[in-house]
Each structure stands twice: as structure tokens, then as C-alpha cells.
Structure 1
Amino acid sequence: MSTPRLSSKLDALPATLDMIAGFDPSSIATALARGGARGALAVGSGGSVVAAEYFLRCRDSLGFGLTSVATPMQVVTDHFALASTPVWLFSAGGDNPDVSAAAKAAIDRGCRDINIVTRNAAGAAAALVSKCGGHVHVVPVADEKDGYLATHSLLSMTASLLMASAMVSRESVASPSPLEVISARLAASRNPGERIRLAEKWQGIRKSDTLVIAGDTLLRPVACLLDTSFWEASICPVQTTDLRNLAHGRHAWFHHRTDETVLLALTGSSSRSTWRAIEGALPEGLRRVSIDYGTCGRLANILGLIDGLAVIEAVGDVLSIDPGKPGIGEFGRAIYDDRSLETLAHELPASVRHKRAAIAKADSAPPENLSLLTICSARFQDLEQALVGGVVFDYDGTIVSTEDRFKVPDQAIIDQLVRLHRLGVKIGIATGRGGSAGDDLRKVLPPDVLPSIIIGYYNGGHIRTADVDIDLDPPAANPAIAATVTWLNKQDELFLEKTFKARPVQICIDRHRLRYPFRFALDVARCPQIESGEVRISESGHSFDIIPSSSTKTTVVEAIRSVAGDGKGVLCFGDSGSSSGNDHALLSHAYGISVGEVCGAPNGCWSLFGSTITGPTALLRALSALVASSSGEIRLDVSALKLDRQ
């Protein structure tokens, strides 16, 4: 044989299978079941991506939610939140910088259910997962050194998932048992006669040939193993697709390169008829091999992986290549050991990720000269150095959550407002609401605090102190708002239900009453008062506000600044910081802090905690960090926020 390194690894696989027979997969089963109907993200690179694909097959066969397979780089650079998504990392040693980067990124993206399947409990990635309260699933291997291609770790990971899936399915175990079937397949694949037969089957393949793998979609783990290993061992070029996608143009390769192509069809009960139709139409001289795996279930896929390893060995023998030690250039180790992805993960703390996501949403370009991390660090430094004389808050989504906006604020928030007032901090509230905000505050704030709190009702269109009931002191009617109400009443096509709140200086329209809420701003642009600039539209989390152009929440900021004292900064908190949000102007400055959306401008609105901690929860953490220094000055103790800024 020409494959001594790979062959020795494959010969020893039964020892790992024996260890699996005594392994308790209940922790993996528990984590699998916990994911249930939720979507999941499986992460792997190199040989471990095969285990990730097998994990997908297990979840699919159990009827669980959609599973995506990603590389570590995708996990680091993607934007979507992972708070409700279980993340599964697969890594034999768990020590390469890429899997560590993926672990950190998943944590920073808010993942609350992170798992790693590995043979190495002491790996760097396992340490990160364990530290954040995740789950480390250590699987046994007889040989801790896989060699160049994944062998023992791959068998251990997939067989452990097979056993765990059987637990979750609660179906009775067939006889012979799955492990007995796997053992028999391993033994057959190591039989000298079978190895010779398989090598003869692949005898005609050349290094210059292209191997096209066309597979049943339920056999993705097997196709992935072959694709990955053929490339990694530099056996020959590979193109992988499914059987029907092959028919959409890729068949042209067979026409032009019939003599330079080998087709491997991986089929099952659902794809046999498709393969028969394709095979019957193929050029006569095209070399082809087909392997059928019945229902393509969990056990069948592991048998396919064993067969795949045998094929890799056989083709390596034909071409005099040892896939277990094919030889790599001097640059290969440098590429593998590169830590740039790990560095990038550390340069993307939650606040930077949040801003990157907003930039992506706006499809705008970040600054070329300054990194977002640099801008973020400078912003935190400004906040840290500020002498705080006043604080201005949005109300809905900030002091109270959007869901609980009809309730009074939590006592913990009230306690912080009172504490800051006693410390001499001037407090303002800039809200799109009318008198209900003041009504609720008067229910929970001490009477002596109320006269000192300035409230800008109707997005700053009516300024009064919190002790004043504006139902008894309403704002004067704005003619442009009245004219806009008249116009809206004639626009039946805009509404599912033409009901909105028309106040003297503001119109409030709930999103759910609109026929096309996402184009509402465009639809009302033809309103004469909007065209003339007399009124403008702004958004909050649940509604659109139409207000006089002179109304702005920054009016409250100016009122607080005038009484905060010379040289004192005014911090501003809100949740609708996007470019169209009604807190955008309030937050787009050095002392603005979003507890919700941020805008796509690099130097615009930022958050402290990213998208993982928002609303009153984020506000409470920030307020708790506003403390008096030894000299009596109020500062934001950024260190108390426990932000990951590195």
C-alpha cells in the first residue's frame, strides 16, 4: 500500500469505536433536545465541518428546526443575533485560533446556548465555552493525533451524535445495534481483499482528472468528507453538487471534458430515480461510480463516512499519495497558525458588532482611515472623562420597555433616578408621548423630585416640569398639524384601520394600523405640509409620529444643559437611534447612548452593550455606573459596565 500513515489510522479505528461503546452521550442528548424546534448553527472547519454536517443530518432526522453550517470566519463576520440560536462548535483539539475566534464571536453575538464537541477538554475554545456557562462535550478517542485528515475524532464525534440522537428519538434500538453495524463495516473496509477490490475500482483515476460528486442531499456529510479530503490531500480537483443541480448547467463539463472527468453519484431511496434518468443520458465514455445508502439516515451516513475514508485510501494508493501525510509547503503551517481571525474577533466587541450591523443594514461604507474599534474606544473615553451634570431620557423603549409601555417604570429605574437627583444631576425626559408619561411618573416619583424634572412631551413640542398635568395645561394647536390631519383623513388607501391620535402638536399612528408600514414615510411625502417642510415624520419602535419641524427632543437637552452647570456634560439615552428614528438627533453625539437601535453612520449613534442587552435593562446598568468621585463629581464608571473593549 502507498498510504502507510492514513492506513495505520484507519486500522486503529475499532479501538475508538470500543471506547464509544462505553461512552455516555446523555449530555449531548440533553443539549440536542434543548435545541428542539429552534434553528441551530453548526460550526466547523477542515475535517470538523464533516461532523457539523452530520449534526445537521441528526437534527433534520429528529424533526428539529433549520440547521445552518458555517465556518469560523462566517461566525466572526456575520451580524445576526444568536440569542435564541443554539451554537455547536466541532473541533478535535479545540486549540486552533479559528475555533477560539468562533467561540468568542458566538458569545459576543449573544448566544445563550453554546456547545463544543471535542476530544480535548483543555482546549482554548473549550475554556471560553465553559467560562461563559456553555457546555463542553468531550468525546473519547483511542488516538489523539488524527494526522493530516480527521479520522478518530470524526468517528468519535459522529458516533457520539448517533447515540445521542437515538436517546432523543426515544425509539427502541434495533438488533444488531448501530455500533455493531459500524464495527462490521469497519472490519469489512479493512479486509485486504476488499481494499484491493476498491483500489481496482478506482484504478483509472488520474491527478489531472476532475472528480464530480453528485449526491443525494441527505448524504451531505459523506459528500463533504470526500470533497474536503480530496482537496486537502491534493488528490485531484473536486466539484460537489446535488443530483438535480448537476442538471442545471454543470453537465456541460461532461460534454467538453468527458475523458478528464470521473463522476461519483451518492444515491438513496429518494434520489435513485433521478440518478437513473441522469445516468441514462450521460456520455458513454464518462467514467462513473455510484454508491447507494438506502434511506440515508443517521446510521447510513456514518457507514458512508467509513466507505468514504476507504475510497480516499484507495485513490491515494492508486495515485501513490498518502492522504494521511501528503506533504505541505513551508507556508502551510504559517497559514494554519495565523491568528488574524482571532484578532478580528477581539476587535469586534458587542458595541462594534452592533454598529457594523447598522452599517450593513444601511449598506453604507465605514470610514477608511479610522477603524470602528478606534471610534468606539474614543467614544467610551469621552464618556469616561465627562463630568456629568445632567441626563436626558427617551421614555418608551428606554425607561419602560416597548412591551410594557402601559405600565409604570420598574422600581429599580425609579430608585436610580431618585439617587441621581439627590446627587445633584439634572434630569430631563424627551418623549413622543403626551400626558400619560407624566401621569405615570407622578405615580412613582417622590413629590419633591417632580418639579425639578423637565419633560418634553410630543417629541419636545411641549416643555413642562413633571409635576404639571398637561391635560390642564395643553399646548396650543399647530396649524400645520391640523392641516395634516385633514389630509390624512382623506387617504383611506394608507390604512388597514384609519384610526390615529391627533393632538395639538403631534399625530401618532400605530404601525399595525397601516397597510404598508415600511413605505409609509414615502407614501406621506406628498402631503403638502411635509413637502413644504412645515412638519416631519419620525419613527419609534411601535409608531410613526408626525410633528412640527420645530419640535425636537434636543430642546430638552438644551433646557437641561442650561441648568446643569458650566463644563458639565449631558448624557442622553434612547432606543430609536436609527437615521429615521425619533431619538436619532438626541443620541448622535459624543454623550448619546442607545439602548436599542443605532444608525449606520460610524460617528453617529452608538450603544454600550450592542444588541444583546437593550431597553430598561441596559439603562439600569448604565445608570448604576454613574457614581460620585472622591471630589464629588459625577462620572460614568466605564469599568463597572464590564465592557469587552479589546
Structure 2
Amino acid sequence: MGKPFAEELASLSGTFEWASQLPLDGVIRSVRALSNLPLIAAGSGGSYTAAHFACALHGAHTRRMAQAMTPLQLVSAPTDLRDLGIFIPTAGGKNPDVLGTFRHLVSEEPRSLMIWCATQESPLASLAAKHRFVDLHEFVLPCGKDGFLAVNSLLAFSVLLARAYTASVGSSASSLPRSFDKLIGDRSWSRPDQIDNRCGGLWERETLIVLHGPSTLPAAVDIESKLTEAALGSVQLADYRHFAHGRHHWIAKRRTGSAVLAIICDDDRSIAESMLALIPPDVPIVRLDVPYAGWLAGLSAMARGFFLAASVGRSRGIDPGDPGVPSFGRDIYHLNVYKAPQDDDPLPREERLIIERKARVKVADLTRTARLDDWRQAYQAACSALYETVFCGLALDYDGTLCHESERFDPLPEVMAAEFARLLRGQVRIGIATGRGKSVRKSLQQALPEKLWDRVVIGYYNGAEIGMLGDDTCPDDADVAGPELKDVVDRLDRDPLISRLAKVTIRSKQITLEPAEGFFPGPLWEYVHSVLLGLAGNEAVALRSGHSVDIVPPQSSKLAVVEKVRQLAGSEHVLRIGDRGRWPGNDYALLDHAHALSADEVSPDPRGGWNIAPAGHRGAQATLGYIRRLKATRGGLRLGPMPLKRSGR
């Protein structure tokens, strides 16, 4: 694992150039998915620094809360993760902490989970491949395998994060410098003789106190990490005001053994200099002063910190890139503390998961408030309604249910098309309830044999218009609103913000608003909903999908697809599947029934619309699992139950 630190430092310029030019389309989409959520970023060692830097970027660009944690903190946290974004950076993707954390996250099902790994085909990648909702990005650094302190992967991740966040939210924040030398600014910090001369007084003391401001916290965390992990010195961290609350006593009592490294940037230069002037003059002070502000100051200071670690290593005769690892250290590193505890909990793990999805409360809290029995009874009733019914057909949402949102304009996935063909050959009727128009028809026509088209019905524009798959005259794509939506169009035209918040597409029976870059469907729906509430006599409704907001007349409903499938099949029971079952999701009405399954979001109503997919299965992956559990019988289709396992979490 060791590698001469000088070799790692020599590769930094090339790593910076590579990370500055790497195409990032997929990464930007993943970061955009995180941008509308509070964030937890977790990592160990250098990845903990990357987690801190990600949080700095998240806060700066999205104005949302972000917190860095160690893997153990994240796994042990009682926080409900279902409405949070999670970022896991890792150099190798194989240590027990990152693998244990991933397994935990699968069971907790955060809204968005992004993983970056600087190694291809890692054990973590193998686990992530089993769950389509995970955004895994693997990178091959130009410098090859990283060394003990992983400075190249940290620099690469930091540059890629900065680029992705800036692009994903359309920010005009500071752009990256053109080269690694410009990032460092003062090149004397990267020249061994000059940095050794500048910092020599620090290395003569036992304790280094690193003072920093909010912007340079990631750099301070990284300096502490590197000096501690390579046994280069004892480090204490404090921001400029936190140091004022008692931490100055360390200098008062241990003055002869203490030195100060002050990380200064444009955000805190005044407060830093005012405080440093009050430190006793016999305490060595070195100012690591970078000519930037915000996250760019943190990145610049971090880069200088790499060379600072090399300097203290030279002073103490230790190569930070290969300090040697004791045998007990290897044993500690490989200790697996993330095994699922075996307890006497009588609740099957899958039942626990399904109830927590629906109740949006942990089972422990349901038990404490004496509500668990009610939820267990509701779950058993839902299972009975689903497993004991013979279905004549299916009514399914499309985007987010049959395909990933980002793949919605591609043909129906082959595995899904194969399952559709299996059911259709068994004389089952299938209805598609979509918020889109003819693009869905074309995708299905490409995916399914023409001889099966007469068994497929499509409800366009959230059920406003019904047509068979083979009917190329459907839907009406005229870009003029019908009488039910004319007043809404007039109101939107007069609105001073709508044109800046969204792209508006008008159809006869639906108005679609796609969020502008840096804006999201949730906040857009809130604004549009408030506009509709203020429109006198309006009965139109705003619904939300994963990528847009649809305004439809009150008579438009995906339930029209259910009714059409019933008519074609000549039977009553239709299984409904969608992904947006929680209001104002556009599948809310479709899934408000005992014979309904969600592939993602659920309403709090225990009477129907449960999500019974395995842990970590979401969207098309969950739907595919449901469909594969449908077995043909003489009277129609039966849904097979999911096997339950009894074990601790």
C-alpha cells in the first residue's frame, strides 16, 4: 500500500489537469439529484476530508444543510435517512467500513445515494450493482494506484466535486484555477527548501494547533488526518472563535511545546489577524494564507497541506507515503464491526422494512407508542388483498416505474419488455398511465411485437386521452389548451416568475412545467399549486413527477386506464403499479387502492398502495420484481409473496 510520498506529490499537477477535463455528464446528473436534499457525506481517512469538502460545496451551492460523518457515526445515527441525500467517497472500495456502511444504507433507503470510487471493479461496486437506485461512479486516476495518504484521489475527488456542483445548480460561483500551480497560488508552499524553512519552527514543537475559518475546515481536517495517520505529530483543530472558548489554555499551560498554523483566507483574514496578534510572541506561528474565499479557499489550503505533510515528514525522518503499518493496526483495520446483530426480535426483517416505509416511523418508535400492532394488522390485510386476488390485468405508470427517469425517452428496457410479452401472451391486458404523449407509444411499439399491441392500452397526459398501442392517431398533441385549462394558461402567461422557473409545454388537456436548471420539481409544484389556489373558479390540479409538474383538468385521472383495462378484460380486479404514491405525486390516485403497489413513494394511508419490494429496490427494479412474481392461473394472475427472513437488522 505504501508509495514514496514524493512520487504522489509529483503526480498532483497531472491529476488536477485530468480532473479538470474529465467529462462529467453522468456525475452532474447524480449531484443534481442530491442538490434538492440535505446531505450526509461519510468517509474515513482522506475520504473524510472529501466528505467535508462535499459538505462545503453542498452548503455553498444549494444553501441546504450538509454534515460530514465517519462511517460508524452514520451507521449508528438514529436519523431517518429516507428524505436525505448520501455521498460516500472511497479510494479503494473494499475496506470493511465502507462495505458495512453501504449494506446499512441499502436497508435505510436514502432518497439519493451517490458513491465515488477511485478503483474499478471493487467489492463495493459489486454490491452497488445490485441496486439500481445507487449512483456509482468509478474513476481511473492517471497516476495509478494511490499511496498511503491517498492525496491524488482526494485532489481528484475535490476537483470533480467542485466542477459537478457548479454545473449542476447553474452556479456562477468561483471557477477553478487553470492549473494546480495557480490553485496553490504561492509556489513557495510546494518547494521543499522554502516550505521547510518557513515551517521548521513548527516541527520543533510537540503540538501543532491548527486554526481555521469555516471555509478552510476541510483543509484543517486533512492536515490533522495526514499528520496523525503518518505519526508525524500531535494536532489540535479549532476555528478562530472556538479557540477563544478555553482552548487557549493549552498554550498558556504548554507554551514551550506548542506551535500554531493559521489557515487564512479572504473570508476571515481580519478576525484571524486580530486573534493571532494576541498569542504570546514566543509561540511559533505560520500563516497559511490563500488568496481565495469560500470552497475555493478550502481547496487551495488543502493542496498546500499536502506539501506541509511532506515537510514535517522530512523533519522527523518519516515518509508520509510509507510510514509502515504495525500488525495490530492491520488487525484493527480489518475488524468487521458492522455485522447485523442477532437478536430476539420476532418481526421479520422485510416486514420491518415495509412497515417503516409506509408509516415513515421507525418500528422502535411504533412499539414505544403502542402503534406497531395496528400497523402489523394493516400490513397483513394489505398482503391478503394482494396475494388472495386473481387479477385480470395491470395498470402501470411509465416514467420512474418501468424505466429510470433519466432513461424515459429510450425504448422500454429489454428485461421489462420480455416480462410484458410473457404476460400479454397469456391474454393479460396491460394499461400504461403516463403523463407524457406519443413518445411513450413509440417506445412501447419499438419494444413489443406488433401482434401484442391490441392488448395494450395507453392513457396519455395522466389519463386525459385513452388509446390502444396500435392507434397512431393518439394522442392529440396540439399546443393549444382546451377550455378547461385556458384560464390557467392565461394566468401563467401573466406570472412574472414562471418563465424563469420552468419550461412550459401546453397541450389540449395538460400543461407540463419542467424545472429550469438549478430548480426542482418539489419547489416548482409548491409555487404552481399556490398560483392555482389563487385563481378564482379554478378546478385544475397540479401533480408532481420525478422530473416535472403537470397541470390537468379535474376530470383527468390515471384511473381512466384502470377502467379501460377492466372493460377490455371483462373482469374487475386490476393490479396498479406506480412510483409516486404520496401526494402530490402523479400516481396518488392510481395507488389509492388495496390492489396497488408502489415502486417508490407511498402515501401514509394503511389501506393500500404499499411498497413491498426488497430493501434497496426502487423504481423499475422494484417493478420488475413485482411483475416477475406474477404467475398465470386459470382465472388470471396471482401475485406471489416475497420470502420473509427472520434476523436482526
| TM band (smaller chain) | 0.5 to 0.7
Q: How many Å separate the matches in 2 of 1:61 and 1:181?
A: 23
1:180 pairs with 2:178? yes
The residue number in structure 2 matching 1:144 is 144
Query: Counterpart of 2:227?
Result: 230
CA distance in 1 between partners of 2:202 and 2:327 (Å)? 28
1:300 and 2:297 matched: yes
Alignment partners' CA distance in 1, 2:375 and 2:352: 24
Q: 1:216 to 1:172 in 2, by over 3 A?
A: closer
Quick one: percent identity of the two aligned structures? 21
Find the counterpart in structure 2 of residue 163 from structure 1. 163
Q: 1:362 to 1:644 in 2, by over 3 A?
A: closer
Relative distance call for 1:229 and 1:345 in structure 2 (3 A) is farther
SS of 2:155's partner is helix
Q: 1:281 aligns with which of 273, 278, 282?
A: 278
| Structure-to-structure mapping, 1:160-559, within 5 angstroms | 160-171=160-171, 178-185=176-183, 189=187, 194-206=191-203, 209-342=206-339, 414=385
Q: How far apart are residue 171 of structure 1 and its match?
A: 4.9
Is the 2:210–2:260 Cα contact (8 Å) retained in structure 1?
Answer: yes
Give deviations 1:338-389, integer Å, cap 9, x for gaps: 223255699995667999966589999xxxxxxxxxxxxxxxxxxxxxxxxx
CA distance in 1, matches of 2:613, 2:166: 44
Distance 1:276 1:398, change over 3 A: farther
Amino acid at match of 1:286: V
Q: 1:617 to 1:169 in 2, by over 3 A?
A: closer
Q: What is the letter of the counterpart of residue 25 of structure 2?
A: S
| Residue type of the alignment partner of 2:36 | A
Contact 2:188-2:195 within 8 A present in 1 as well:
no
**Runs of 4+ that moved beyond 4 A:** 171-174, 185-192, 342-364, 391-395, 397-400, 412-419, 611-614, 617-622, 636-639, 641-646
- 1:14 paired residue number: 13
Question: How far does the alpha carbon of each residue in 1:95-136 deviate from its partner, in whole angstroms, 9 at most, with x for none?
Answer: 112101111111111224211011123112222223211111
Show the counterpart of 1:488: none
Counterpart in 2 of 1:513? none
For residues 367-416 of structure 1, give each alpha carbon's deviation from its aligned partner in whole angstroms, at most 9, with x where no partner exists: xxxxxxxxxxxxxxxxxxxxxxxx99856x9869xxxxxxxxxxx97565
Distance between the aligned counterparts of 1:37 and 1:392, measured in 2? Answer: 31
Give the count of matched residue pairs. 411
Contact residue 399 and residue 619 of structure 1 kept, 8 A: no
How big is the shift at 1:151? 1.3
Inter-partner Cα distance in structure 1 for 2:296 and 2:611? 51
Q: Cα deviation per residue 1:294-317 (whole Å; 9 max; x = unaligned)? A: 553333322211100011111111
1:583-622: per-residue Cα shift (whole Å, max 9, x none)? xxxxxxxxxxxxxxxxxxxxxxxxxxxx999834559789
Indicate if the aligned counterparts of 1:148 and 1:323 stay in contact, CA closer than 8 A. Answer: yes
1:73 aligns with 2:76: no
Conservation of the 8 A alpha-carbon contact between 1:20 and 1:140: no
What TM-score results when the alignment is normalised by the length of structure 1?
0.55
String of CA shifts for 1:5-40, please: whole Å, max 9, x gaps: 111110122222332243112222222222223201
Distance in 2 between the 1:148 and 1:344 partners?
32
Superposed, 1:63-142 pairs within 5 Å as 63-133=62-132, 134-142=134-142
- Identify the residue that residue 536 of structure 2 maps to in structure 1: none
> Tell me, what secondary structure is at the counterpart of 2:277?
helix
Q: Give the conservation status (yes or no) of the 8 Å contact 1:243–1:274.
A: yes
CA change 1:337–1:4 in 2 (3 A) is closer
C-alpha contact (below 8 Å) 2:267/2:294 kept by paired residues: no
Instruction: Give the secondary-structure state (helix, strand or coil) at the position aligned to 2:208.
Output: strand
AA paired with 2:176?
A: P
| In structure 2, C-alpha distance between the alignment counterparts of 1:234 and 1:6, rounded to whole Å | 14
SS in 1 for 2:137: strand
Q: Is the 8 A contact 1:84 1:111 kept in 2?
A: yes
The separation in 2 between residues aligned to 1:151 and 1:637, in whole angstroms, is 51
Cα offsets for 1:132-157 (capped at 9, x unmatched)? 11111123312332211011111111
Q: What's the secondary structure of 1:241's corresponding residue?
A: strand
3-state DSSP class of the match of 1:340? coil
Partner AA of 1:135 in structure 2 = D
Match of 2:154 in 1: 154
Tell me how far apart the structure 2 counterparts of residues 363 and 399 of structure 1 sit (CA, whole Å).
23
SS in 1 for 2:299: helix
Could you tell which deviates more after superposition, 294-303 or 332-341?
A: 294-303
2: distance between equivalents of 1:416 and 1:343?
30
The 1:620/1:94 distance shift into structure 2, 3 A limit, reads closer
Is the CA contact 1:5–1:325 (under 8 Å) kept in the aligned structure 2? yes
Structure 1 CA distance for aligned equivalents of residues 366 and 246 of structure 2? 34
State the Cα distance separating 1:161 from its structure 2 match. 0.9
Give 3-state SS (helix, strand or coil) of 2:27's partner: helix
* Structure 2 residue identity aligned to 1:201: R
Alignment of 1:566-577 (within 5 A): none
Kindly indicate whether the alpha-carbon contact (under 8 Å) linking 1:58 and 1:162 is maintained by their aligned counterparts in 2: yes
Code of the residue aligned with 2:280 in structure 1: it is: P
Pair 1:221–1:640, CA change in 2 (3 A) = same
Structure 1 residues 287 and 416: CA distance shift in structure 2, 3 A:
same
Paired position in structure 2 for 1:483: none
Question: By how many angstroms is 1:220 displaced?
Answer: 1.3
1:491 equivalent in structure 2: none
Aligned partner letter, 1:259: T
Instruction: Give, in whole Å, the separation in 1 of the partners of 2:336 and 2:214.
Output: 34
Amino acid at match of 1:182: F
Instruction: Check the 8 A contact 1:115/1:129 in 2, yes or no.
Output: no
Return the alpha-carbon distance in structure 2 between the equivalents of residues 153 and 167 of structure 1. Answer: 21
**One-letter code of the match for 2:180?**
I
1:76 match: secondary structure: helix
Aligned to 1:282, what secondary structure does the other structure show? coil
The CA distance in 2 between the partners of 1:155 and 1:238, in whole Å, is 22
Structure (1 or 2) with the larger CA radius of gyration: 1
Which deviations, in whole Å up to 9, do the C-alpha atoms of 1:510-555 show, x marking residues without a partner?
xxxxxxxxxxxxxxxxxxxxxxxxxxxxxxxxxxxxxxxxxxxxxx
What displacement does 1:251 show?
A: 0.6
Check whether the contact 1:293–1:300 (CA below 8 A) recurs between aligned residues: yes
Alpha-carbon contact 2:215-2:295 (below 8 Å) kept: no
Q: Could you tell me whether the CA contact under 8 Å between 2:202 and 2:260 is conserved in 1?
A: no
Shift in Å, 1:181: 3.6
